[in-house]
A and B are shown apart, each in its own frame.
Chain A
Amino acid sequence: MSMISVQGLHKTFNKTIHAVQGVDMTVEEGEVVVIVGPSGCGKSTMLRCINLLEVPTDGEVAIDGVDLMDKKTDLDLVRAEVGMVFQGFNLFPHLTVIDNVMLAQKKVRKRSKEDAEAEARRQLARVGIPEKADSYPRQLSGGQQQRVAIARSLAMGPKVMLFDEPTSALDPEMIKEVLDVMLELANDGMTMVVVTHEMGFARAAADRVVFMDEGRIVETGTPEQIFSNPQEDRTKLFLSQIL
């Protein structure tokens, strides 16, 4: 069974803007899929439909065999299994770093304070900033904040991690520290779906690259196939503009 299964996905905003127009995609356990495409092609909307942050207008979404479009499915339970990292970090500014990482562990996983704190410190060490545990988010650089956001998701023990342009809001010198953490995560066997403009990361980490345009998947293949030998004209045009 696939870890993520998306079938016939449509998402329309205000009945007029057809952001996603029939996407089929499956992601196997341990697979790293990178979604690329021009701005406004629906890749972020598609990603946000995977954990139902956007409720699809039509189609099927299942994670580890659980049908998310079934109204009886408890989405909060599913979302605890699906980590999400945002472009704007979205750390909780009123909480210290360690409290950011502990909050959902305590409220959703019902872990004791001690267990949650131990797990939080483990994950902060994993993303390389154990010494910032007692800082507030605004005292951290963008790269550090994004790594805390990754630790916050990892502390829930997710089956899948979704990344929505995780480095797009970062200063250039901070992009690498975040990508390194993501690369390590990929090597550890995490199932990941990453929307990004970092083609270097796609080459290094992706098992599969998906190229989207105008709400549809245009082409799918290994990084080698997509970057060195694209089949579709639209893909070639896109790559010629960014590489």
Chain B
Amino acid sequence: MATEAARGRAHVPRKRRAEEEAWWQSAPWWVGIIIAVMVAMGLKLLFDEDYDLAWSNIIPGVWITIRSTIYIFIIALVLGLLAGLGQVSNNVVARNIARAYVELVRGIPILPLIFTLALVIIPDLSAAVGAENSVPNDWRAILALALIYGAYMAEIFRGGIQSIARGQTEAGRSLGLSRRQTMRSVVMPQAARSIIPPIANDFIAILKDTSLLSVVGVLEITRRTRQYSASSFKFTEAFFTMTFIYLALVLALSTLLTFFESWMTRDRAGER
């Protein structure tokens, strides 16, 4: 103290206190960064002829990507629900088939599994039931990825269902509701809260993973990009255009899903 006073400095107590963040610390700069990247790419596409050429070669794949995403999501959702319910079923056969399906798929990387399903298992199966070559190539690929994501979603459904306390089922059954009625009216509506966010997440993951379908010849965005870049040697233009399109699609879908989620949870202030 004495030395401080001697130096002409007042003693400032070092007191701990909560500090409000300044506006520039809490501002969402990342949105600005993403918008800047998107705008830069957009300008390139508008004013650079090489980019414009890449764009017009790749863009027909967008519709195939979107269509595949929707088909895969819907099929995977149904498979996931069935396999998820199967895993919590009392039926020994259903439970073991569902469990085997989920564990098999989860034990194999996506890319090798797409090859195996789309090029071997699905064609062989259709041949075995006497309908050789009945599944077109695009659909073999779509079914392959749907089977894979079905298993991932099964785990989401199972987890959601099992997160609901046993007492809820007991209360339903003790009122005379059947197993099915209890599942539909008591367990599922509550499980939906924890199921919807990860399912939405998988929707976006499916959109991105449709790029893997390029390896079995589906003419989606990635496949068209590789074809165009290989024939024109405009790798930079082609790959930047491709990433721009994917980013735009993913941002659009995730915005859509955010709205959907808040709509699903609207007007339930009193609910847990």
- Tell me the A residues contacting B by CB distance below 8 Å: 51, 53, 76-77, 79-84, 86, 88, 90-94, 96, 103-104, 107-108, 135-136, 138-139, 149, 152-153, 156
Contact = CB atoms under 8 A, between A and B. Distances in A.
Contact of A156 (B176, B185, B272): B176
Given A88-B167, A90-B167, A139 B177 contact: no
B270 A86 contact: no
B171 A80 contact: no
24 contacts: A51-B174, A76-B173, A76-B176, A79-B174, A79-B176, A81-B176, A82-B174, A84-B170, A86-B167, A90-B165, A90-B167, A90-B170, A91-B171, A92-B168, A92-B171, A94-B189, A94-B190, A94-B268, A103-B175, A108-B175, A108-B176, A108-B181, A139-B270, A156-B176
Contacts of B189: 94
B177 A108 contact: yes
Contacts of A108: 175-177, 181
A158 to B, nearest CB: 9
A136 B270 CA distance: 5
B190 A93 contact: yes
B82 interface: no
B192 to A, nearest CB: 9
Contact of A79 (B165, B173, B186): B173
Contacts of A84: 170-171, 174
B19 interface: no
Interface in B124-180: 165, 167-168, 170-178
B271 interface: yes
Given A76-B177, A139-B270, 9 more contacts: A51-B174, A53-B170, A76-B173, A92-B171, A103-B177, A104-B172, A136-B270, A153-B174, A153-B175
